[in-house]
Chain A
């Protein structure tokens, strides 16, 4: 066999030919790869650069500091306090999360429920995401954790900010509260700041009504993150804008005094207004609640207690409680009487009167009536018979008109959520509601504030202020929001005559300050500080004919829920009135004039607090701007 044969030549030729072909293939593949590079990097480069940037940069919202709520003198009613927290970073624990929790559990209290929540948080996040172990620790607890820190691997003490209501339940119904964001809130408000963990929004009161103002604007922290979401470094930081501070018209000392005084009743409401400009100086509804509970996270038992209590602590009775006005409505009737030709009306009260088949009684029926009663004395002694006569002469249509003129049946527009409008009946309403014609007897009953009439304490206080000044005063609870002074309406004179106002004011003066007046026993005796007012009693249940015959069941013998409401509206001082007030004591009928005693003390305290203390930072008798509060101008 030859060492080399001719076949070698042929296979070398084949090899060369095919190598060249292979080389061509290699070149083609490299060209394709180059083309793909061109496509990715040159043609679509911009697109991929954007996507790489989106990968790299994470924007984190920074919760803005919530604005404070202050009283008219700058006392902080709702602020922010430091929230001492303990966090746990799972990846930094030595010996596992369980062990770390055991150790820290010896320093601060951790319930099995807490542990469960913490472990759940940890399990649902990456190992470097801190989980909150405990919040709202006392300084002592926080110090203890810090002291033991060298032995607590993975535990990080942290200071955040949380809402604080230093006066607790005193202002619960004015301020409302903040609480965690619910699913519903998120649907209603697309602002992404709501999804921040631990973010709180206003749920009631001023916190709700002015949530957008006190919330502020979220900051943005642009950070570089890696593929696992870990923050590598900060790129830029916009701290955001803290929320605006809100100055209320509330005088915190008066509020606290009124709350303490009203708090002695089991369920009551009281509103005090500056009659010159409608500033609400105090607005109390009792029982209240501690708004801090909702911020920290209310426990089930606490929530249940609040919602099932028949004294309705969560309801702001001052704006959402509607009560039959009782005899306080006689002041309105009296205004209508004077301007409808009854200024000189004198009624001979015998204690009862017959209308058709019904006998209508006066409170004085057992002593044989009040005798000769004119308009002022009718207010002073609260003679029902006098006002039956007024009601009969006015008729229901005129009565409705008079009531609406002074403001009955429409919300006052106070800047708090949940205000109710009260109610004034009419022929048309009764026909629509019951398919029955209006009965004249109903005119009589409604003429003394029973029957269908309903009003809220804030409305009653507004009526008192309007009677005291003759002007259409509107209540308002905010003075300054951020830098904007809240506009105040220039009060317009109401369409009743000055004579009517003067006569009603005199009747109200007599009711408190003349012997025989319904509130004489609880008058202010210090000269120059006297108040004028009108009591009212609202029946909760109908008095039966049998009771009339056998004598009334004493109120104190009735179950609490069946007792009458006790009402009072008034103003002080009598000359140049400054303060108007309304008090409603729910089912307070058992004791003698509890509401008048409250009114006396609160109005006296208000006057003693020196009106000179009113701040000059904003106009008190604002004539600068006339913008009626929203929702009121149209009514």
Chain B
């Protein structure tokens, strides 16, 4: 179809071509967002690079390297790696879940890989997107809605999600399900499946509430009425709302956020970093960040639309939507719209695994972009 005479049109590209093909504007954009994160980490440390800002910068630089490497790798290579990745991620998740249940005190979502602490569920999200994209690549629109063909991706989504839920990590499980369902939707799942499912889920919510863990249920109840327990479980939400709201229109100024600086704000360097931004830079700062995020998402959607392979389209959209779900859940959570579920703000929150998995995801996105002209036969998709 596309006959424009530029390098990407060729089936194989040289390394230089590929480097040139990377969307450097996009890279600049995420660097700007990450830098805002560094600044916030610098601010809440009382104007110091330690203990948060400097390690975060190092991780981002590492992440940039990962991004470029991932972008260089041919999209067909990624397609062939999709199932092995998924398998590894699945095993790691399984091991983590089992290990977690060995610990009596619950939530232990980390495993040690040498000096690195790794949260396998982060890796799982990218792997799931990869695997689903590959599988759905082999299916026609009609195939997607066939029960036997649909059962496989549902299992690919459902089993790891159930494992993660059992860790217990409701936030990540939610994102896994959201990522997976989005890809099924984009692949053309019939409305005859979608509408009844939505109805059934909506009806099941009250029952599901019973099966939630005590602390998860408490978080939901707290959300509905934070003032009921202002010094206990409602503390996080109340203090986060105070911090965000007290930023006002223009904010209290850099390094002047009293709520975060004086530790009223919980988890200020990780899950609640968006609140710190809102406190110090106000409505302008917070909306500004959302706009930057929107541009990133816009880039992602455009990359997906430009890809000539279904695998590329689904992979790009999966990565982009995964990024979006992070933002949505985190922002809604710190602003008291949904219960606190422990999802970081991508590119902003302090944490190595999240940063690296997001950057790896963007690397895949770049790979789709670089190899957008590559056409892949439908037979390459499917289960085998």
Contact of A51 with B246 at beta-carbon distance under 8 Å, contacts A15-B186, A34-B290, A56-B262 already known: yes
From B155-163, B327-335, B350-358, give the one contacting chain A: B327-335
Interchain CB contact under 8 A, B141 and A41: no
Shortest beta-carbon distance, B325 to chain A, in Å? 9
Closest chain B residue to A6, Cβ basis: B140
Give Cα A26–Cα B286 distance, bound, in whole angstroms. Answer: 17
Residues of B within 8 A of A232 (CB): 262
Give Cα A559–Cα B321 distance, bound, in whole angstroms. Answer: 103
Interchain CB contact under 8 A, A7 and B242: no
Give Cα A8–Cα B381 distance, bound, in whole angstroms. Answer: 13
Check B188 for interface membership: any CB of A closer than 8 A: yes
Residues of A within 8 A of B301 (CB): 19, 22-23
From B56-64, B66-74, B86-94, B372-380, give the one contacting chain A: B372-380
The 0/1 profile, CB within 8 Å of A marked 1, for residues 359-384 of chain B is 00000000000000001011100000
Residues of A within 8 A of B239 (CB): 55, 227
From A1, A18, A232, residue with most partner B Cβ within 10 Å: A18
Interchain CB contact under 8 A, B337 and A36: yes
CB pairs A–B below 8 angstroms (27 shown) = A4-B375, A4-B378, A7-B378, A8-B378, A11-B140, A14-B188, A15-B188, A15-B314, A18-B185, A19-B186, A26-B297, A30-B293, A33-B332, A36-B335, A41-B283, A45-B247, A48-B241, A48-B242, A48-B243, A49-B245, A49-B248, A52-B243, A52-B245, A53-B246, A226-B261, A226-B263, A227-B264
Main secondary structure of the interface of A (DSSP, over half): helix
Give Cα A36–Cα B310 distance, bound, in whole angstroms. Answer: 36
Interchain CB contact under 8 A, B188 and A18: yes
Interchain CB contact under 8 A, B262 and A55: yes
From A4, A18, A37, A48, residue with most partner B Cβ within 10 Å: A37
Check B75 for interface membership: any CB of A closer than 8 A: no
Residues of B within 8 A of A7 (CB): 140-142, 378
Contact of A42 with B283 at beta-carbon distance under 8 Å, contacts A10-B141, A15-B186 already known: yes
Check B45 for interface membership: any CB of A closer than 8 A: no
- Identify the B interface with A (CB < 8 A): 140-142, 182, 185-188, 239, 241-249, 258-259, 261-264, 278, 282-283, 286-287, 290, 293-294, 297, 301, 304-305, 310, 313-314, 317, 321, 324, 328, 331-332, 335, 337, 375, 377-379
Check A228 for interface membership: any CB of B closer than 8 A: yes
Interchain CB contact under 8 A, A41 and B278: yes
Check A224 for interface membership: any CB of B closer than 8 A: yes
Check A29 for interface membership: any CB of B closer than 8 A: yes
Interchain CB contact under 8 A, B245 and A41: yes
Check A305 for interface membership: any CB of B closer than 8 A: no
Check A624 for interface membership: any CB of B closer than 8 A: no
Interface residues of A in 25-47 (CB under 8 A from B): 26-27, 29-30, 32-34, 36-38, 40-42, 44-47
Shortest beta-carbon distance, A36 to chain B, in Å? 5
Check A183 for interface membership: any CB of B closer than 8 A: no
Interchain CB contact under 8 A, A48 and B310: no
Residues of B within 8 A of A38 (CB): 283
From B243, B245, B304, residue with most partner A Cβ within 10 Å: B245
Residues of A within 8 A of B248 (CB): 41-42, 45-46, 49
Residues of A within 8 A of B242 (CB): 48, 51-52, 55
Interchain CB contact under 8 A, A22 and B321: yes
Interchain CB contact under 8 A, A14 and B244: no
Give Cα A224–Cα B256 distance, bound, in whole angstroms. Answer: 13
Shortest beta-carbon distance, B339 to chain A, in Å? 15
Residues of A within 8 A of B246 (CB): 45, 48-49, 51-53
Contact of A33 with B331 at beta-carbon distance under 8 Å, contacts A8-B310, A11-B188, A11-B310 already known: yes
Interchain CB contact under 8 A, B244 and A37: yes
The 0/1 profile, CB within 8 Å of B marked 1, for residues 40-79 of chain A is 1110111111011101100000000000000000000000
Interchain CB contact under 8 A, A41 and B244: yes
Interchain CB contact under 8 A, A41 and B187: no
New A-B pairs, 19, CB < 8 Å, besides A12-B313, A19-B304, A36-B335? A7-B378, A8-B310, A10-B140, A14-B141, A15-B187, A27-B294, A29-B324, A40-B244, A41-B245, A41-B278, A48-B241, A49-B245, A51-B242, A52-B245, A52-B264, A55-B239, A55-B258, A55-B262, A227-B239
Give Cα A309–Cα B186 distance, bound, in whole angstroms. Answer: 96
| 8 smallest beta-carbon distances between A and B, as pairs | A48-B245, A52-B246, A226-B262, A45-B248, A14-B188, A227-B263, A7-B140, A40-B245
Residues of B within 8 A of A10 (CB): 140-141
Interchain CB contact under 8 A, A41 and B249: yes
Residues of A within 8 A of B263 (CB): 226-228
Give Cα A436–Cα B187 distance, bound, in whole angstroms. Answer: 113
Interchain CB contact under 8 A, B264 and A11: no
Give Cα A262–Cα B249 distance, bound, in whole angstroms. Answer: 78
Shortest beta-carbon distance, A365 to chain B, in Å? 84
Contact of A15 with B310 at beta-carbon distance under 8 Å, contacts A22-B321, A33-B332 already known: yes
Check A3 for interface membership: any CB of B closer than 8 A: yes
Interchain CB contact under 8 A, B241 and A40: yes
Closest chain A residue to B321, Cβ basis: A22
From A4, A16, A33, A224, residue with most partner B Cβ within 10 Å: A33
Give Cα A14–Cα B331 distance, bound, in whole angstroms. Answer: 30
Shortest beta-carbon distance, B380 to chain A, in Å? 10
Contact of A227 with B297 at beta-carbon distance under 8 Å, contacts A18-B185, A19-B317, A41-B248 already known: no
Partner of A11, one of B187, B249, B262, B335: B187
Contact of A5 with B378 at beta-carbon distance under 8 Å, contacts A33-B332, A41-B249 already known: yes
Give Cα A95–Cα B44 distance, bound, in whole angstroms. Answer: 31
Residues of A within 8 A of B182 (CB): 22
Interchain CB contact under 8 A, B244 and A22: no
Check A225 for interface membership: any CB of B closer than 8 A: yes
Closest chain A residue to B141, Cβ basis: A11
Interchain CB contact under 8 A, A37 and B278: yes
Shortest beta-carbon distance, A343 to chain B, in Å? 84
Residues of A within 8 A of B314 (CB): 15
Contact of A41 with B185 at beta-carbon distance under 8 Å, contacts A4-B375, A49-B246, A227-B262 already known: no
Residues of B within 8 A of A22 (CB): 182, 185-186, 301, 317, 321
Closest chain B residue to A46, Cβ basis: B248
From A8, A19, A32, A228, residue with most partner B Cβ within 10 Å: A19
Interchain CB contact under 8 A, A15 and B378: no
Give Cα A47–Cα B241 distance, bound, in whole angstroms. Answer: 11
Residues of B within 8 A of A226 (CB): 261-264
Give Cα A36–Cα B261 distance, bound, in whole angstroms. Answer: 23
Shortest beta-carbon distance, B182 to chain A, in Å? 7
Closest chain A residue to B137, Cβ basis: A11
Residues of A within 8 A of B335 (CB): 33, 36-37, 40
Shortest beta-carbon distance, B230 to chain A, in Å? 11
Interchain CB contact under 8 A, B377 and A3: yes
Interchain CB contact under 8 A, B186 and A18: yes
Residues of A within 8 A of B375 (CB): 4
From B185, B246, B290, B377, residue with most partner A Cβ within 10 Å: B246
Residues of A within 8 A of B249 (CB): 41-42, 45
Residues of B within 8 A of A228 (CB): 263
Closest chain B residue to A52, Cβ basis: B246
Give Cα A45–Cα B249 distance, bound, in whole angstroms. Answer: 8
From A34, A40, A227, residue with most partner B Cβ within 10 Å: A40
Shortest beta-carbon distance, B69 to chain A, in Å? 27
Residues of A within 8 A of B297 (CB): 26
Closest chain B residue to A3, Cβ basis: B377
Give Cα A480–Cα B282 distance, bound, in whole angstroms. Answer: 59
Residues of A within 8 A of B243 (CB): 48, 52
Partner of A52, one of B258, B313, B377: B258
Interchain CB contact under 8 A, B305 and A19: yes
Closest chain A residue to B310, Cβ basis: A11
Residues of A within 8 A of B328 (CB): 29, 33
Give Cα A44–Cα B375 distance, bound, in whole angstroms. Answer: 53
Shortest beta-carbon distance, A43 to chain B, in Å? 9
Give Cα A348–Cα B286 distance, bound, in whole angstroms. Answer: 112
Residues of B within 8 A of A55 (CB): 239, 242, 258-259, 262, 264
